[in-house]
């Protein structure tokens, strides 16, 4: 499953996931096969244990109960790609198993186009670039990833272009071609430009942008062909917190 991209391990679950009506979904597109959500920052995509009820999936089950039977992992019903907890933006969800398999194939074949807005530390030199460093589990923490080439490393590919330069920061549009865990965050840190507000991958003694409470990473664009053959192209504006922080750059 894509996590700024993809992955899929199956975990047996012996109790049903809980529906949570208090989790309001910001739906930007829906038909009989898919939902496209504008995920807010701070919301985890799926539970890590069955009794957890504060995730996007719990909100999905409340909105569309049939989704609990969709997919190959009962903890991640309908989920074909995901965003990190503190990443906001567009995310597509499958409403039935036919669309689940179809979308999974679209992601695997890199036919889904995703673009993210990322504000990074420092002045990026080249107007555009490609990062193809393999990504592996960090040697220091299993919660982190690193651009290390070892026997468990997976190929990863991220392209970027500069949208705006500031004195101490650069606003990038990034295009992940693969979907490794934390891919964009790890890749940008690996070239010396960690995402602003990313506490997990920042360098020591890097200044924080006043008022920014999370990583400046937003899934702003999604283009894909649906199971019915329709091509959709969706955009999401910067959330208020990121737009406000951007005004504080100089």
Going from N- to C-terminal start, the domains of the chain cover 2-247
Neighbours of 239 (CB within 10 A): 16
In the beta sheet, which residues pair with residue 158? 131, 176
Is 84 assigned a catalytic role?
A: yes
Q: Check residue 164 and give its pLDDT.
A: 97
Residue 162 burial by Cβ neighbours in a 10 Å radius (0-12, 13-18, 19+) = middle
Supply φ then ψ for residue 69, to 5 degrees: -100, 10
Find out whether 78 and 71 touch, Cβ atoms under 8 Å.
yes
pLDDT score, position 215: 95
Q: Which two tokens stand for residue 129?
A: 């670039």
pLDDT of residue 179: 82
The closest of 107, 71, 83 to 225, measured between CA atoms, is: 107
237: pLDDT strictly greater than 50:
yes
The predicted-structure confidence for 158-177, as pLDDT tens digits, reads as follows 999 999 999 999 999 999 99
214 CB neighbour count, 10 Å cutoff: 21
Question: Which pLDDT score, from 0 to 100, does residue 144 have?
Answer: 55
pLDDT for position 9: 42
Closest to 166 in 3D by CA, of 104, 121, 224: 121
Q: How confident is the model at residue 146 (pLDDT cuts 50, 70, 90)?
A: low
d(CA 58, CA 148): 35
Q: Return the number of other C-beta atoms located less than 10 Å from residue 130's C-beta.
A: 12
Question: Is residue 95 over pLDDT 50?
Answer: yes
Q: 2-247: which CATH number, 3.40.50.970, 3.40.640.10, 3.40.1360.10, 3.30.2350.10?
A: 3.30.2350.10
Among 80-84, 215-219, 233-237, where is mean pLDDT lowest?
80-84
33, 84, 198, 241: which is the annotated catalytic residue? 84
Band the pLDDT of 98: cuts 50, 70, 90: very high
Question: Torsion angle of alpha carbons 224, 225, 230, 231, nearest 10°?
Answer: 40
Q: Of all helices (H) and strands (E), which one includes residue 46?
A: none
**What percentage of the chain has pLDDT greater than the value 90?**
72
Q: What is the pTM of this model?
A: 0.88
pLDDT in tens, 1-29: 555 544 444 444 456 899 999 999 999 99
């Amino acid at each position: 499953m894509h996590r700024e991209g993809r992955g899929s391990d199956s975990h047996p679950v012996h109790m049903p996931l809980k529906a949570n009506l208090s989790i309001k979904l910001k739906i930007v597109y829906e038909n009989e096969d898919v939902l496209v959500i504008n995920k807010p920052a701070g919301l985890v995509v799926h539970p890590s244990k069955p009794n957890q009820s504060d995730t996007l999936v719990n909100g999905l089950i409340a909105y569309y109960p049939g989704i609990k039977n969709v997919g190959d992992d009962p903890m991640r019903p309908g989920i074909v790609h995901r965003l990190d907890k503190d990443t906001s933006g567009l995310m597509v969800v499958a409403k039935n198993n036919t669309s689940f398999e179809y979308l999974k194939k679209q992601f695997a074949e890199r036919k889904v186009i995703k673009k993210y807005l990322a504000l990074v530390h420092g002045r990026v030199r080249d107007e555009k670039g490609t990062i193809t460093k393999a990504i592996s589990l960090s040697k220091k923490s299993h919660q982190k990833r690193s651009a290390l080439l070892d026997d468990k490393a997976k190929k990863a590919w991220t392209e970027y272009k500069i949208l705006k330069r500031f004195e101490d920061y650069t606003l990038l549009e990034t295009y992940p071609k693969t979907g490794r865990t934390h891919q964009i965050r790890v890749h940008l840190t690996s070239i010396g430009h960690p995402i602003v507000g990313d506490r997990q991958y920042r360098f020591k003694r890097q200044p924080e942008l006043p008022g920014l409470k999370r990583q400046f990473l937003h899934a702003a664009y999604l283009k894909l062909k649906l199971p019915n053959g329709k091509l959709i192209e969706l955009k999401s504006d910067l959330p208020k917190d990121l737009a406000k922080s951007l005004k504080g750059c100089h």
